[in-house]
Structure formats: C-alpha cells, structure tokens
C-alpha cells in the first residue's frame, strides 16, 4: 500500500551503474565474482582435491589405512610416510585420504536430508501461513531452544551410537536454519506482484509454489546448503571426537584427532595435526565456496 515511498528510486548510485551490471548471463557474473575474488577459484580447486579423495580415496591411498604395524609405530613424517604413522603404525596419509569419504558422506547426507525437510516445510510455512506456519515455527523454536551441539549429543545418545544417527542428528539441528530461510523467502514472495499476477492467470496455490516461488528460492537455498556443509562436517567430527558415532579403527578425521590428542603433550604432533588440518581445510573450502556462491547468486548480500 505504501509503495509510494519509492516513487523515484534513490539516485545516489546513478542508474547506468546498476543496470548494465545486472545484465548479461549468470555465467559472466560468476566469472566477474571469481575474477574479483580469486579465493573462490582456489576454494573450488581445493574442493576438487577433497572430492577426489572422497571418491577414489581407497584406490589412491599409498597404504592400507587399517593395517597396523607395531614395528613402525609413532614415526614422524618421512619420505616413506609423508604424514607419519600413529601409535599402531598405521599410515596417517592413507587414513586421512580414506576418511574424506566418510566425513563428506555424513555431511552431504545430512544436508540433503535437511534441505528437503527444512526447505519444504519452510516454504509451506511461509507461503500458506496459518497453522502450518505455527507448527513449523514451534518445531524450529523448540530445536533452537537447545544449544545445537548439545542437542546433537543428546539425540545420538538416545537413538544409539551409530553413523546413521549422526546424520540424523546433524540434519535435525540444522532444521531451524533451513526452515527459517525458506520461510522468510517464501513469505516475502507470498504477496509479491508476480505471485498475485499468477493467481489472476488462474494458477492454483500448489502450482504457484512449484513454478513461481520455489525456483526463485532455490538459489538462496543452494547457497545455504553450501554454507552449512562446513558446519555439518564440523559437527559430525565433533561428535566423533567425543566418542560418538564412528568407532575405531574406522578412519575418520574427528576420531583421528581424538586419538592423536593424547600424544600432543608428549610431542607427537603429526597424529592429530594432519587429520585436524584436513578437517579444517575442507570446512574452510566449503565456507569459501558458500561465500563465493552467495556473491554470485545474491550480490546485494555481500559482506
């Protein structure tokens, strides 16, 4: 009703500035963003390496990640064992490479799960409002009433100490984030002119959600996904660090850091450092990718 306030766009930025910038394809915009911020390009390179480890890890690892050899226990990094060996003589490089699959797998599955659940219920809540909104809002609020990692601990403890339950717990604690973003985006668009116009064109509500609202929200949700991937990895690794989910001798970054923790005070730094660094780099990589993706999709929200 009071759109009148914007009778004339503020002209602090002259029109020719913003107009041509928005023209052109998403691709050229992506190229611009990467050109402006080469870090995104580097992050993408890192992502390819991590993904290669996750897919081909067991094939390209130099040693069997589970084979222990007490004779060569606790060796510092050398030409033979680039990352050294642990207390059982297992090759740390191989273990770090093989672990990528499990760590990424947990993160991807949990994020995909929450993407569907949180996204759909958020869109429904935002678009239809009413009791749908109230129920989804209440669920999200209740989850948010817990410190999220603590809730994840509780869920895994109650559901049982398995990898599947880590995936579920990680998805649950991310639910409010997804539901809120989707809700807010859907809510903004609920009364947008183009949605009203679609109603006038004879579209049903469900059809409007599918053809008008969802495609417009999708980019933002995808960005959200890549931003929370890092958090999901951290969360899963944190749970296994305190002894939940993954059990030894399975190679996993969190549990490997936990195993190496005891040796830090006696100076065997490599056992904890390499899996920790792998964990850190992959989270860093996903966060950078998420930021870059957001710049591409939504230039206004750049920080």
Partner 1 sequence: MTESTSTLLDVKDLTVEFATRRGIVRAVQNVDLTVGKGETVGIVGESGSGKSVTSYAVMRILDRAGRIADGAITFSGIDVRNASESEVRDLRGREISMVFQNPRAALNPIRKVGHQIEDVLLEHLQASPQDAKVKAIEALQKVRIARPDERYHAYPFELSGGMCQRVVIALALACRPQLLIADEPTTGLDVTTQKAVMDLIVELTRENGMSTILITHDLGLASAYCDRVVVMEKGKVVETAKSAQIFKSPQHAYTRKLMRSTPRIGANLRDLLPEDMPVPLTPAKKTAGGGASLLSVSNLVKEYPRQGVGGTLATLFRRKNEFPQSEVFRAVDGISFEIKRGESVGLVGESGCGKSTTSMMVMRLLDATSGHITFDGEDIAAIPAKSFAGLPLRKRIQMVFQDPTDSLNPRFTAARAIADPIYRLGGLRGRDAVRARCEELARQVGLPVELLDRFPHQLSGGQKARVGIARAIALKPELVILDEPTAALDVSVQAVVLNLLEDLKHSLGMSYLFVSHDLNVVRLLCDRVIVMRAGKIVEEGETEAVLSAPKTDYTRELLAAIPHPPL
Partner 2 sequence: MLRQIGKRLATAIPSLIGVIIVTFLLTRVLPGDPAAYFAGPAASPQAIEEIRKSLGLDKSLPEQFVRYVQDLSRGDFGKSLTTGQTVIIDIKTRLPASAELTLLGLIVSMLIAVPFGILAAVKQGSIIDHACRVIATAGVSLPVFFTGLLLVYVFYFILGWSPAPLGRLDAFASAPKHVTGFYLIDSLLAGNLESFRASLAQLALPTITLAIFSLAPITRMTRASMLAVLSSDFVRTARASGLSPRTVIVTYAFRNAMLPVVTTLGMVFSFLLGANVLVEKVFAWPGIGSYAIEALIASDFAPVQGFVLTMAIMYVLLNLTIDMLYGVIDPRVRLEG
Tell me if 137 contacts partner 1 by CB under 8 A. Answer: yes
Q: How far is the CB of 257 from partner 2 (least distance, A)?
A: 6
Considering the complex, state which of residue 188 and residue 242 has its C-beta at the smaller distance from partner 2.
242
Looking at 216, 249, 250, 277, which residue binds partner 1 (CB under 8 A)?
216
Q: Between 161 and 216, whose beta carbon lies closer to partner 1?
A: 216
Do residues 111 and 232 make contact, with C-beta atoms less than 8 angstroms apart? yes
- State the nearest-atom distance from the C-beta of 113 to partner 1, in Å: 22
State the nearest-atom distance from the C-beta of 251 to partner 2, in Å.
16
Among the residue ranges 78-86, 87-95, 211-219, 273-281, the one whose residues contact partner 1 (CB under 8 A): 211-219
Binding mask 84-123 for partner 1 (x = CB under 8 A): ----------------------------------------
From CA 257, how far away is CA 239, in angstroms rounded?
Answer: 12
Cβ 187 to partner 2 shortest distance, Å: 19
Applying CB under 8 A, among 80, 134, 247, 302 the residue interacting with partner 1 is: 134
Number of residues located near partner 1, criterion CB under 8 A:
47
Site of interaction with partner 2 (CB under 8 A): 138, 141-142, 144-155, 157-160, 230-231, 234, 237-238, 241-244, 254, 257-258, 260-261, 264-267, 269, 272-273, 276-277, 279-281, 283-284, 287-288, 291, 303
Q: Does 3 help bind partner 1 (rule: CB under 8 A)?
A: yes
């Amino acid at each position: 009703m009071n759109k009148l306030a914007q009778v004339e766009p503020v002209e602090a930025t002259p029109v020719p500035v913003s107009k041509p910038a928005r023209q052109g394809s998403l691709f050229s915009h992506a190229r611009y963003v990467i050109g402006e911020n080469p870090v995104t390009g580097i992050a993408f390179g890192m992502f390819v390496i991590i993904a290669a480890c996750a897919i081909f890890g067991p094939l390209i690892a130099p040693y069997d990640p589970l084979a222990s050899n007490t004779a060569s226990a606790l060796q510092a990094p050398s030409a033979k064992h680039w990352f050294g060996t642990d207390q059982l003589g297992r090759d740390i490089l191989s273990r770090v490479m093989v672990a990528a699959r499990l760590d990424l797998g947990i993160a991807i599955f949990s994020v995909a799960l929450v993407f569907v659940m949180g996204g759909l219920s958020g869109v429904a809540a935002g678009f239809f409002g009413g009791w749908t909104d109230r129920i989804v809002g209440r669920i999200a609020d209740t989850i948010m009433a817990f410190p999220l990692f603590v809730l994840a601990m509780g869920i895994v403890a109650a559901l049982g100490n398995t990898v599947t339950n880590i995936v579920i717990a990680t998805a649950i604690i991310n639910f409010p984030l997804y539901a809120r973003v989707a809700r807010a985006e859907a809510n903004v668009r609920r009364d947008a002119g183009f949605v009203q116009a679609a109603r006038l064109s004879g579209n049903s509500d469900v059809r409007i959600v599918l053809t008008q609202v969802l495609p417009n929200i999708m980019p933002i949700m995808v960005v959200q996904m890549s931003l929370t991937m890092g958090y999901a990895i951290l969360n899963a690794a944190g749970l296994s660090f305190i002894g939940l989910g993954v059990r030894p001798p399975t190679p996993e970054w969190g549990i490997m850091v936990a195993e190496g923790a005891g040796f830090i005070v006696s100076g065997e730094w490599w056992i904890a450092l390499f899996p920790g660094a792998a964990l850190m780099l992959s989270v860093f990589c996903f966060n950078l990718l998420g930021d870059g993706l957001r710049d591409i999709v939504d230039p206004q929200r750049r920080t």
